[in-house]
Amino acid sequence: MSKFDRRGFIKLAGLGGGIVFASSLSRGLGLNALGSVVDYANAGLENDFYFVQLSDTHWGFAGPKVNPDAEGTLKKAVQAVNSLEEQPDFIVFTGDLTHTTDDVQVRKDRMSQFKEIVAGLKVPTVHFMAGEHDASLDRGDAYQEAFGKLNYTFDHKGVHFIVLDNVSDPGAIVGESQLDWLKGDLKQQKMDARIVVLTHRPLFDLYPDWDWATRDGSAVIDALMPHKNVTVFYGHIHQENHHMTGHIAHHSAKSLMFPLPAPGSVPKKVPVPWDATAPYKGLGLRSIEAKPKQAKYEIKELNVTRE
């Protein structure tokens, strides 16, 4: 989101604040002992904030017909984020940071090179997660050495973020052990907690013939379903896609290396060729404006080149 857009949003939020406040009166506002207004329903929730999602950077990929600027696109994305006039609170990378290779040393080198490039981000807080290209061939060994845990949680301004690993098992399985961990974590959350799940593959069957699914994703969704405010952001499919499973919204992000065709739209899943008349078409990053009090997320797609 540009400074102009962000400022515009803040203005609107400021104007709308009164409306939100007014509408809140009927659902849990009261006076405390000092006479100030307390919003009991939203206790613990803080101000709006925004974060940036980057995905599927596939560092190490080579294919001039698909992306003749394979070595420059990630760097341009870093510049694009740095040029945002108001910087996000944090950045998330939703997997496939590197392109897969059978060579363990090349895999490690690609991860080091990736880290060097993203170290150029001005925002100090960056949350990483693995894609199958990073982690499926060695069950996440090199990834963990370079980036840390495959699954973890963090909290930010009243929102509980859960990073799920559905890639280190090459069969696209979350697995019983991680499911137990997830259920244990969810038990500690209120039923109306603001929960964001970050993962690589879709948790629902988007198009399994193209590997666009998580084999035990329905068990994850079942575990999340009792919670009222859950939103999932993921990558893997190299395009925007928005889907609901009950009240849970799932939003996929564009890639920063090559776009893929719409699910099932062509007989074989192959990258969309580079369009010289529209460089970087189909690639991009996104800003996500989180509004914890309303449990809402406003997504804005951004171009790689910020033009």
Partner 1 sequence: MNLKKRVLITVTLLASALLSGLVVYTRANALPVERVIHITAKKFEFSPDSITLKKGEPVVFEISSEDRKHGFSLRAIGVRSDVLPGRVSRIRFTPDKTGKFTFSCDVFCGDGHEEMTGTVVVTE
Binding status of residue 144 toward partner 1 by CB under 8 A = no
Binding status of residue 171 toward partner 1 by CB under 8 A = yes
Q: Looking only at residues 44 through 63 of this chain, which bind partner 1 when binding is defined by CB under 8 A?
A: none
d(CA 123, CA 103): 32
- The minimum distance between CB 136 and partner 1, in angstroms, equals 4
Binding status of residue 105 toward partner 1 by CB under 8 A = no
- Given the structure tokens 């997997």, which residue do they identify? 95
Interface map 254-283 toward partner 1 (x if CB under 8 A): --------------xxx-------------
Instruction: Specify the pairing of strand 248-252 against strand 29-31.
Output: unpaired
Beta strands in the chain (DSSP E): 29-31, 37-39, 49-54, 90-94, 126-129, 152-156, 159-163, 194-198, 229-234, 241-245, 248-252, 285-291, 296-302
Binding status of residue 229 toward partner 1 by CB under 8 A = no
Binding status of residue 170 toward partner 1 by CB under 8 A = yes
Binding status of residue 242 toward partner 1 by CB under 8 A = no
Among 145, 155, 180, 211, binds partner 1 (CB under 8 A): 211
Binding status of residue 196 toward partner 1 by CB under 8 A = no
Q: Are 305 and 76 in contact (CB under 8 A)?
A: yes
Q: Which helix (H) or strand (E) holds 107?
A: helix 104-118
Which window, 99-107, 116-124, 147-155, 286-294, contacts partner 1 (CB under 8 A)?
99-107
Query: Residue 194's beta-bridge partner residues?
Result: 159, 229
Instruction: List residues binding partner 1 (CB under 8 A).
Output: 99-102, 132, 136-137, 167, 170-172, 208-211, 215, 268-270
